[in-house]
Structure formats: C-alpha cells, structure tokens
Structure 1
C-alpha cells in the first residue's frame, strides 16, 4: 500500500476552513442536511444522538430543536465555541465535548451516531477501523450509524484542481488520487487579503461500497445501506456516499 503523507489535522480545520466553506453551510443547506440525516436515520424526538466531529454544531443544534438529546464532539475549541453560541441563541440544550473520535469512550449510550461532511478517513486504516468499533460500542442495541463521505468514483475521475473563492480570497486544492492506497491527497494553498498565504497537504481515505460495508460488518454492524448525497440509491454518478448501518438488537 502507498504511504500516506503525514499532516496536521488542525491546519485543515481552522478559521480559513470556516471562511471558505461558509457558502456551502448556509442555513438552507443545513436545514436540508438535517432533514436528510434525520430521515435516513429514522430519528424520533427524545432519542439520544452523537454528532462526531460536529464542527460548529449546525446539524446537532437542529436535532436538539426537534427534541433529540444531543451530544456534539469535536477537537476544535473554536468550532465548539460557535456551537455553544448557536445553541444558546436558538434556546436549545446540547452537550459539547472537546475530544477526538479516536479516543471515543462511550458504551451503549446513543440511539444514533452520525459522521457528516467527510469527517472520517484521515487516519491510517487500523485507526479508522478502531474508530468504527468505538462507534459500534457507543450505540445501544438496535442503534443506527450514518457516515457521509466523498464518492470515490467521482474523485478518481474528477478534475485535478478545485478553487473556492470568497471575494478576492482563494483556496486552491490540487488533488491526486492514489488508487493503490485508496486515498486522495489534497495540496491546499490559501490566499487571503488580510494574512500571509499558506500551503499544506492532507489526505482522506475513500471507499467503494463493498469495502466500507466490509469494514462496518467487521466492526459489528449489520444491514449496511448505501445512498447518494441526496438520499437516492447510490450509483457511480452520485455526488457523495452516505452509508447507514445498524448495531444488532
């Protein structure tokens, strides 16, 4: 297997990330995402939900508004501060924890766990498999897990250069897909008017449906279903990949 480049995860998820991804995380988009996730998970008011790598809490807060008991976990204190402010402004309660999904310690506490917006796949395979096992342990019997990521087929045959612009600021990703290792490498350059430019590299593990199903079943999940980014049956042309898996009752 090819060697993956090492990188600082915190460098990829910081204020620059919030700046350039704001157009993709609008209120309307967040409402639609939460509705899609809730439908695929069959969430009901009163259920307990864990949002892994919850970021600024845009999904978790919406579940709290619909009567779920919500826990958000993220490694960024900056993102969690925004999540707390949002929950307070909307008059809802949620628990927010600064932590790493690689050290998830809950045991049979949640009816549902979600990993949204490519929050999984930044570690080596052994660590990623362990994360799935930890998620399985965190669920009550019959609990559901939803994981969303990129569609490997779209990435493998997509263009090599992607540019996001906010005003005159630019974030440029030059992408290289490693077909042997199963990951995409992003060489990212950020140029903003109010600060010096910077560049860094990070990699994300991607999966075919059979491969991810195998990993989930090895972690103890069953009934693994695959969907496209809008909840349609998954196909090669799907923009994203969403899988929903169940812990046996």
Structure 2
C-alpha cells in the first residue's frame, strides 16, 4: 500500500449496524433515520483496511465520509473498540449544508475502531442522512499535519498573537464599562482573550465546541470556568444571563449565523462584543464557505459563513439590540484596515476582512464608537431577517406626551430604548419578578417600573419563577408542551411565590390616564387575560402588541390560542397590523391597531 493508496468501505448491511432502533434503508446510498434523542447513536461501522494491514509508524489515518443530511443534524466520529469514547474529533453537518465530505483524522489508529453516526439535533427531533461512501487512506504525519489534527499551536503562532494584541488594544481604547461585569466568552479557543476580562475583575465563563480547546484552557487558566458547548445547537441561557457576551473570531466559523446570534443574544443583558470576518457589501448578505475541519481554530462542522455588516446589524437589531456601533478607530492589524468597495469580497490582498461590532441594549454616549444603528423611535420588525422577502421595518411615530404600558417588561427590551430617546414618552413597566424589576428601577424618570402582575383580578396570585427569567409566568407549564418545546430543557421552575396583581383598568383609572398610545404585552400565556383586564378602557388603547404560542400543545396551562386572541381583538375594533415569528417558529408577536 503506497502513500496515495485508498481503500473504500461501502456501506451495506454486512458492515453497518443500526443502534437504538434507528432505521436503515437497504439501498445505496444508505438512508439512516436516527433516534429522536440528542446524542443517541444511530449506526456504527467497523473500520478496517486491506488485509488488516497496520499503519506503519509515521503515518496517520484519514476517514472521509460522503453524506447528504436531509433533515436535522448528524455527527460523525471514530470511537474506541468498546464504543464508550471517541478517539477522534466529531464532525457535524446539518440539513443546510447540502452534500458534504466529513474528514476525520486519526494520529494513532489501531484495530477494532468504529465509525459512529449519531443524532446531534436537539429538541427531541430525529435526523435523516444519506451515507454515500467512506474512504479510508493513510497519510504521512508531518509537522504541518500535526498542527491540523489537534495541535493547538495554531493559537500561539506569531500571526495569532499579533491579531489578538490588536483586538485587545482596540477593545481597551473603546473605554467601555467592563470592570466587574459577568462575561460569557463564546468561541474562546484556549482562553487567551479571556485574560483581558479577568484582569478587570470580571467573572468569566468560557465556551467552546472543541473539547481539546477547553482542556488546554483549563491547563493554562485553572481558575477559569469553562464549558464544552456547540453554540449552534446548545442553548447558552442554561449558563445564566451575563452582562457582557464576548464573541471574537467565531461567527464566521458557523454555518447558521442567525441561530448563533439568537443564542448568544438570549443570555446578554447589556453589551454584545462581536468580531467577525465580513463580506464587503452594503446589502444584508451572507456567503457560505468551506473550512478545513481539522484545524483547531476553524469551523468545527466544516462550513463557515461571511456575513456583510448590514446583515449583522439587521440580525442584532432583530435580536433586541436597538443600538449597534463599530469603533471609529480600527484595530492595528491589516485585516481590519481596508477600503469598502461593496464587491462582496471577504479576502483581499492576501488577508481576511474583519469588523468589530458593539451591540447595546441602551444608548452609549461614546465618541470612540460610530453608530451603525440607533433606534430613534419604537420599531416593530415584521419579518425575520433571513427570510427571502422580508418587509421593511415599520416605524411608529413618537408624538409628545405619549403613555405606554409594558406588561411583562423583563429588562425593557422593547420599550426602554424609546423612553431613553424620547422624554415625551412615559412608560409604565410591569415586571412581577422583583429581582429583574430592580435592575430597571430609577434608571429613567419617564420609565416607571412596578413590581406587579397584571391579571383579571385585583389581589395576589402564585407566580412561577423560572431559571430562565423571561419564562416566569402566572401559569404553570403543561408537561407535554414543555417536553416538546425547542429549548425546553433550560426552562425550570425554581419556586412559586405570591405576587400582587392588578387589573389594567384599575391601574389606568387610578393613574388618571386618558389614552394609552401603546400597550405591549409579553405575559407568558396570559396575554389575552391582560388585554381583557382593560375592560371598558380597552377603547382608549390605540395599539397593542402581544405574544401567542403557535404550537399544537401549549407551553402554559390555560394559555389563550391565536384564534381566541384574533377573535377578541377583532370584535373589540382592532385590526392585525404586523406579525413577527420567533422562538424557532413556536411563537408569534402580533401587533394590532385600532380601526
């Protein structure tokens, strides 16, 4: 067998073995339907090469799997003879990737190894994949190949050190209020950049999809909290809510930037610091690119992306960041210093094109930042940014002396920025979770926070506090609905406490409010009850936005359906104006205006 020889192992029923009741169709290409459980093995294949020949010293094994993922996401790796552990990195591919070749390297191959195909899709969903062939070849082990197969020295090359120094120098010059914050470092690699925050008294939690990176981090920085997680599929809110999310050098290594931005935004309460390779274009576009899966600082799944600045800005705005900036002074490294030509290039003159984004929940009066987006009036995004025919953003005029009511305000994601920009808007924000409400109290004179739940009776009621603050509700979960909910594994009730309740008409009357320009409701299943509690005063409300679940089985017990909400508000003289889909298609934000 020469260095270039290849042996092909064809998938047939003599070689492939189903696991956990997975289904395999007995035709080429072999089609596997995985179990629904995430991480469950679907099939294993014994690896062998010609005549059981051993790989001589100085060689490594390359296993290439040609596959087409039809639905969900699958992972492929090489397992030890006992199938209890992987001896290679896992390569993953989703249905958005198309036909792929997953390349796995083994530096120390041995007899009895297995090729494993498993379900990586979360939320109790099975995956389906066509396996076309497996090609096994031996390759000489060189210093370069050692770096490609797990040698983490790629993070410590002079090039890597130079760009890291430039990144942190630029970040430091921005003068952002970072001291003592809680920080989530997403795509941390071996953790070198996390030192910047630790030196400023921050509590830092590091996340990376590659176990070898986290292992190296723990050896270098033993006091640092570190977690192995795939930001494309693992909900990061299970780690908590952080003041700052730091995501440098990751976004362009993922195949689904919208999913990643949604994931990291969900656990960010103040600032999202983002650096990525971009496509130089003025339109909101994203390009998909192949990346070498065996490089420790490249895409773990073999497919990356190159979003344009306007794509990133639109997506971040959609994730609830009304203020998005970029540094006035670029980082002192060639990747950041380029002339915009709008030619869709992401690599020019032999180097990548990079940009830094600072997304904030609140306005930043910082002369070192230039705005890419500043919300100067309340906005309703009516279509997801990744839809092919997204409608333009509709802007609601902010007339002087408006009264807004925000029921289930949480951290003010939908209304605080408008109150901050327009002193003529007076917002009454109802948030029964006192711990969350206290974070907004006293910050603005025209943003009045009331730790009260709006309900259909004045008095008190049980309030179910959730580990994920935004899921806390007056209603308990439906077990079946929670089990089916995408992301339901992070929704856990910590306690049930009594909170004061008030009808909306009681408040409007006692506060002597004449008209309400805008009522925003996000009450986790009780949205229609909130509207009903306005009673006769509903006629004095001009515009209403509320949330409804669209799943077959409701997440909350006795939650109102979409049909009930539409019928009630139509009968009350409102017309549906905008629809915003969210939560992986499981919820809609409906906006109504009075006819």
Question: What's the TM-score bracket when you normalise by the shorter of the two chains?
Answer: 0.5 to 0.7
**Greater relative CO, 1 or 2 (CA 8 Å, sep 6+):** 1
Distance 2:184 2:293 in 1: 33
Partner of 1:203: 303
Return closer, same or farther for 1:180/1:42 CA change in 2, 3 Å cut-off: closer
When residues 79 and 10 of structure 1 are mapped into structure 2, their CA distance, relative to the original with a 3 A threshold, is farther
8 Å contact kept, 1:41–1:146: no
The equivalent position to 1:55 in structure 2, one of 173, 189, 198, is 189
Does 1:104 find its partner at 2:235?
yes
The 5 Å alignment of 1:60-75 reads 60-75=194-209
Secondary structure (helix, strand or coil) at the match of 1:67 reads coil
Alignment correspondent of 2:561: none
Deviation at 1:246, TM superposition (A): 1.1
The structure that is helix-richer by fraction is: 1
Q: 1:123 to 1:61 in 2, by over 3 A?
A: same
| 1:49-69 deviation digits (Å, cap 9, x = unpaired) | 111010100001232123111
Write out per-residue CA displacement over residues 86-142 of structure 1, whole angstroms, 9 at most, x where no aligned residue. Answer: 214xxxx32111112132332762111111124445223xxx3232222222112xx
Structure-to-structure mapping, 1:1-249, within 5 angstroms: 4-5=97-98, 6=100, 15-16=149-150, 18-23=152-157, 24-26=159-161, 29-40=163-174, 42-88=176-222, 93-102=223-232, 103-106=234-237, 109-120=241-252, 122-124=254-256, 128-140=257-269, 143-153=270-280, 182-186=286-290, 188=292, 202-227=302-327, 230=331, 236=340, 239-248=353-362
d(CA) in 2 for partners of 1:116 and 1:71? 14
Q: Distance in 2 between matches of 1:217 and 1:180?
A: 13
What SS does structure 1 have at the residue aligned with 2:201?
coil
Q: How many residues align?
A: 204
**Kept in 1: contact 2:182–2:202 (CA 8 A):** yes
Q: 1:9 & 1:40 partners in 2: Cα distance? A: 41
Q: 1:30 to 1:216 in 2, by over 3 A?
A: same
Counterpart-to-counterpart distance in 1, 2:237 and 2:291: 35
Cα shift readout 1:161-209 (whole Å, capped 9, x = no counterpart): xxxxxxxxxxxxxxxxxx997325246598xxxxxxxxx9933222222
Tell me by how many angstroms 1:18 deviates: 2.9
Structure-1 separation of matches of 2:264 and 2:273: 10
Structure 1 runs, 4 residues or longer, greater than 6 Å off: 231-234
Q: TM-score, normalised by structure 2?
A: 0.30
Task: Report the CA distance between 1:149 and its aligned residue.
Answer: 1.1
8 Å Cα contact 2:316/2:359 also seen in 1: yes
Alpha-carbon distance change, 180 to 64 in structure 1, aligned in 2, over 3 angstroms: closer
SS in structure 2 at match of 1:106? helix
Q: TM-score, normalised by structure 1?
A: 0.66
Contact 1:112/1:139, CA 8 A, preserved across alignment: yes
46-55 vs 204-213, which deviates more? Answer: 204-213
RMSD: 3.9
Shift of 1:144: 0.6
- Equivalent position SS for 1:46: coil
CA distance in 1, matches of 2:291, 2:213: 23
Q: Equivalents in 1 of 2:101, 2:166: separation in Å?
A: 32
